[in-house]
Structure 1
Amino acid sequence: MRNIQTENKTMENVTTEILENDFTTLQVMDWPMVQEYLQRCKYEESNHNIINMIMWLQTYPLFYYKREEYLLLLGIHEGCFFMYMPLCEKQYIAEAIKKGKEIFDHYGHDFTLSCFTKEMVDEVIKLYPEYTAIHESWADDYVYDGERLRTYAGKKMQKKRNHLNAFYKDFEGRWSYETLDETNIDDCIGYLKDWKSEDPDDFLQSERIGTFRILDLYDELPCKGGLIRIDGKVRAFAIGSMLSDRMCQENIEKADGDVRGLYQCIMKEMLSHEFPDIELVNREDDTGRENLRAAKLSYHPVNIIEKYRIKKGVES
Structure 2
Amino acid sequence: MLHFKALELGDRDLFKKYIGDYNFNTYEYSFLNLYLWRKYCNVEYALLDDVLIVKKTEEGKGTVFMQPIGYSKTNLKDIISELIEYKKKNSNMKFLFSDIEESFLEELKSLYGENLEYYQDVKNFDYIYETEKLIKLNGDKLRKRKSQYNHFVSSYEHRIENISNDKVINDCLKFAEEWFSNQPKNFQLECELQGIKDIIHNLDKLNGLGMAVYVNDVIAGFTIGEIVNKDMAIIHIEKGDTIYNGIYAFINRTFAELYLKDVKYINREEDIGIPGLRRAKLAYDPIKLEKKYLVNIRRD
Whether the TM-score (by the shorter chain) exceeds 0.5 is: yes
Among 118, 121, 134, the alignment partner of 1:149 is 134
- Is the Cα–Cα contact under 8 Å of residues 141 and 304 in structure 1 kept in the other structure? yes
Measured at CA, do residues 231 and 79 of structure 1 come closer, stay the same or move farther in structure 2, by a change above 3 Å? closer
Measured in 1, the distance between the counterparts of 2:77 and 2:226 equals 27
Match in the other structure for 1:232: 217
Worse-matched range after superposition: 231-240 or 177-186: 177-186
Among 283, 286, 291, the alignment partner of 2:271 is 286
Q: Is 1:83 matched with 2:65?
A: yes
- Map 1:146-185 → 2, pairs under 5 A: 146-171=131-156, 174-183=157-166, 184-185=168-169
One-letter amino acid of the structure 1 residue matched with residue 78 of structure 2: K
Shift of 1:154: 2.4
Measured in 2, the distance between the counterparts of 1:127 and 1:148 equals 40
Measured in 2, the distance between the counterparts of 1:145 and 1:293 equals 18
Measured in 2, the distance between the counterparts of 1:188 and 1:142 equals 26
Match in the other structure for 2:14: 33
Measured at CA, do residues 251 and 27 of structure 1 come closer, stay the same or move farther in structure 2, by a change above 3 Å? same
Q: Is 1:42 matched with 2:27?
A: no
Shift of 1:306: 0.7
One-letter amino acid of the structure 1 residue matched with residue 242 of structure 2: G
**TM-score normalised to the size of structure 1?**
0.85
Shift of 1:69: 5.0
- Is the Cα–Cα contact under 8 Å of residues 177 and 227 in structure 1 kept in the other structure? yes
Measured at CA, do residues 232 and 303 of structure 1 come closer, stay the same or move farther in structure 2, by a change above 3 Å? same
* SS of alignment partner, residue 236 of structure 1: strand
Match in the other structure for 1:52: 33
- Is the Cα–Cα contact under 8 Å of residues 86 and 93 in structure 1 kept in the other structure? no
Measured at CA, do residues 94 and 304 of structure 1 come closer, stay the same or move farther in structure 2, by a change above 3 Å? farther
Q: Is 1:126 matched with 2:104?
A: no
Aligned residues: 291
- Map 1:65-80 → 2, pairs under 5 A: 65-66=46-47, 70-77=51-58, 80=62
Among 260, 270, 273, the alignment partner of 1:275 is 260
Measured at CA, do residues 79 and 227 of structure 1 come closer, stay the same or move farther in structure 2, by a change above 3 Å? closer
Among 217, 239, 257, the alignment partner of 2:242 is 257
* SS of alignment partner, residue 134 of structure 1: strand
Write out per-residue CA displacement over residues 223-273 of structure 1, whole angstroms, 9 at most, x where no aligned residue. 112111000011111111123320000011010123211101111111211
Measured in 1, the distance between the counterparts of 2:277 and 2:203 equals 26
**TM-score normalised to the size of structure 2?**
0.89
Q: Percent identity?
A: 22
Flag structure 2 segments of 5+ consecutive residues without an equivalent.
none
* SS of alignment partner, residue 212 of structure 2: strand
Cα RMSD of the aligned pairs, angstroms, is 2.3
Measured at CA, do residues 159 and 80 of structure 1 come closer, stay the same or move farther in structure 2, by a change above 3 Å? closer
